């Protein structure tokens, strides 16, 4: 089955009536997850900084006949922006509840030794990767609490799970996200909200191209093939999981993995 054939086929309605916020929804993993949620019946709030990209995802979702998504154009790097400060209010003006958040937006910054890392760039990376997920979650908590159950998914990275030299602010920020997500999980363990973490692994995205320039992108998993773990953590089954780390490469959908045997044989991270 091709990706297009799979996407055109409506899901089983697992997420009917759900409203889910996805940050960094304009491309890559955020786009793939948003389309899959919509395919399964959810109304997706597409959040990103590039309006054209968000409109492209919006068009794909509506062209397939899935629930009409909402668009929030927000630069998460600018916490002083009115749009940033009113994310919760903007969502609540349209929806009475929020059933989930996928914190997917990320900044790579620069791969360089710590001794030469610029403080301003460090702050920029932490604003997008750590502070903005904190603030967005805080703003959306009243809506999450209104749902029968709600799920928050944070995104980490191998460089945040195991220290890797030269990954700078990105690696440290992803370690911070892992820690912060588990703190949220502990603090809300007795509520309707579940908090978990996903490490997508090496995927065919723009971020991967930036960190591994010159490497054949066909070697890496297409984003569409790893959406099943994001579905599992947004379904009611999430009530059995809290504070856990999931490696998305363990949940690849073979129907959407277009890599050939040759690609896999030469694959490297």
Q: Residue 164 belongs to a domain with what CATH number? A: 3.40.50.720
Which of 112, 93, 119, 106 lies closest to 47 in space, CA to CA?
106
pLDDT at residue 117 tops 80:
yes
Average of per-residue pLDDT values in the chain: 91
Using pLDDT thresholds of 50, 70 and 90, give the confidence band for residue 260: confident
Q: Residue 58 has what pLDDT? A: 98
Percent with pLDDT over 70 in the chain: 89
Domain that holds residue 129: 3-265
What is the model's pTM? 0.93
pLDDT at residue 209 tops 60:
no
* Residue 20 near residue 45 (C-beta atoms within 8 A): yes
pLDDT at residue 266 tops 90:
no
The domain tally of the chain equals 1
Using pLDDT thresholds of 50, 70 and 90, give the confidence band for residue 207: low
Which of 210, 247, 205 lies closest to 222 in space, CA to CA?
205
Using pLDDT thresholds of 50, 70 and 90, give the confidence band for residue 189: very high
* Residue 165 near residue 112 (C-beta atoms within 8 A): no
Using pLDDT thresholds of 50, 70 and 90, give the confidence band for residue 111: very high
pLDDT at residue 154 tops 90:
yes
Higher pLDDT, 203 or 170: 170
φ, ψ dihedrals at 126, nearest 5°: -70, -30
């Amino acid at each position: 089955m091709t990706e297009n054939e799979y996407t055109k086929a409506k899901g089983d309605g697992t997420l009917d009536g759900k409203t889910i916020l996805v940050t960094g929804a304009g491309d890559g993993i955020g786009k793939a997850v948003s389309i899959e949620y919509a395919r399964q019946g959810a109304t997706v709030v597409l959040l990103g900084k590039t309006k054209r990209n968000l409109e492209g995802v919006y068009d794909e979702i509506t062209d397939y006949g899935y629930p009409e998504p909402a668009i929030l154009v927000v630069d998460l790097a600018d916490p002083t922006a009115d749009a940033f400060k009113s994310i919760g209010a903007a969502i609540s003006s349209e929806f009475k509840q929020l059933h989930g958040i996928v914190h997917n937006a990320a900044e790579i910054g620069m791969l360089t030794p710590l001794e030469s890392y610029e403080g301003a760039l460090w702050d920029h990376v932490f604003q997008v990767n750590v502070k903005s997920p904190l603030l967005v979650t805080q703003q959306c908590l009243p809506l999450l609490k209104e749902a029968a159950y709600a799920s928050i998914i944070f995104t980490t990275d191998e460089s945040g799970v195991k220290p890797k030299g030269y990954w700078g602010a990105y690696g440290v920020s992803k370690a911070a996200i892992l820690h912060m997500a588990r703190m949220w999980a502990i603090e809300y363990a007795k509520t309707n909200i579940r908090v978990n973490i996903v490490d997508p692994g090496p995927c065919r995205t723009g971020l991967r191209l930036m960190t591994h320039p010159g490497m054949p992108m066909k070697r890496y998993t297409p984003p569409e093939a790893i959406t099943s773990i994001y579905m599992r953590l947004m379904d009611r089954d999430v009530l059995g999981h809290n504070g856990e780390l999931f490696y998305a490469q363990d949940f690849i959908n073979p129907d959407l993995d277009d890599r050939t045997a040759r690609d896999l044989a030469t694959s490297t991270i």
